[in-house]
Structure 1
Amino acid sequence: MSADPEEPGTPITRTNGRHSFTTLSTSDVYVGNILALRADEVAMPGGGRSRREVVEHSGAVAVVALDEHERVVLVHQYRYPLDRRLWELPAGLLDAPGESPLHTAQRELAEEVGLAAEEWSVLVDVAASPGFTDQSERVYLARGLSEVALPEPAADEEADLVVRRFGLDRAVEMVFTGEIVNAPAVSGLLAAQAVSRGRAVPRPPEAEWVDRPVRFPARTDR
């Protein structure tokens, strides 16, 4: 996103990482049920200012659920903005008042695919597109799976979900063939493979989440 200085052509003094990008003004463009769009005027290096349009989001969680055979649970779900079905991890918005991200992940795993897990850890935190949105998603690793009852009736897109288990290596292959493009699924599957092969260690399930969105939840007292 390019800067829009007050005086075009004015040389910009390089501040080498020391500039404070202060918000000079802010206004709402749109406020909806799951996101808001605001426009900020921000102080730029060299004394200029620039407009930044920011999509506020509640944040979300996703789960790499691995069974005893190193198979991962994926869902095939229709995504309206792309107008097609995608292979994804079980996931959900952080939209329940007072619910921790871990509890949201546990609830979504039960509600979407009918599973509970004994062991939980954090794989990765993903900033979806930090150039224009504060949306961030936390991806958990869940092991020690057991079946629980699915809620009835299913709602909206979840009524059309297809649930399958893939070998973890096969799922990672689907990332590289372009069959899996969902950002938390891509990052979560690669991280899970690294953990499975002993190349990485996941974090505790209540690990600090620096970039968890706060602006949109604060609007609705979530």
Structure 2
Amino acid sequence: MKNKNNCGLLWIILLVLCSLNIAAQPFAEDIRAFKKQDSIAFPPKQAILFVGSSSFTNWKDVQNYFPQFTIVNRGFGGSSISDVIRYADDIIFPYQPKQIVIYCGENDLAASDTVTGKMVYQRFVQLFTLIRNKMPGVPVAFISLKPSPSRWQLKDKMIAANDLVKKYLRKKKKTSFIDVYHKMLAADGTPLKEIFIQDNLHMNAKGYAIWKKIIAPYLKK
């Protein structure tokens, strides 16, 4: 009887530890929300997958910007490239997209002063390699890190990351580097303030209109 009780207690402890481990994973709630959406209505295969951080999360009406394409938006706010890698089996591969469009890397730089543009680039290479190994024929597009007034102090690191990713993708087949950075600058070289909401980090409709014009030619029909 004692052994049975001990086994039962160990089983309960294991369940609790597993639950705590899941809860401790960053962005676990966001991933659960995506899975719940998928359980109700799974997105069509061969759509264009947008994956990355809050610039995609907040683009809730992205489908309206590109009505001629089928868009699946799996941006989750605050995420870094490492987070996208961590959840690739949940937010990339199940959808069997015909193209993957990535916007991520800003939060990597904002998270710590020790993160460099080169480190963002290296993380992107890791993500790109993961995608290529699983989906060798799927085109991949990377949207450049954007200039934001609230993160203007990171501009040199952002430029470095953008340049490294651009040079890297130039040598890879079925890839695109989409430069939104320069079109978001005013004549004096600083970010256009009128395209951001009050936090000076996330874009308003004017900002997304700029993105639409730049991104549309790169999307695969």
Structure 1 length as normaliser, TM-score? 0.26
> Which structure carries more helix by proportion?
2
Which one has more relative contact order, counting CA pairs under 8 Å at least 6 apart? 1
> Which structure carries more strand by proportion?
1
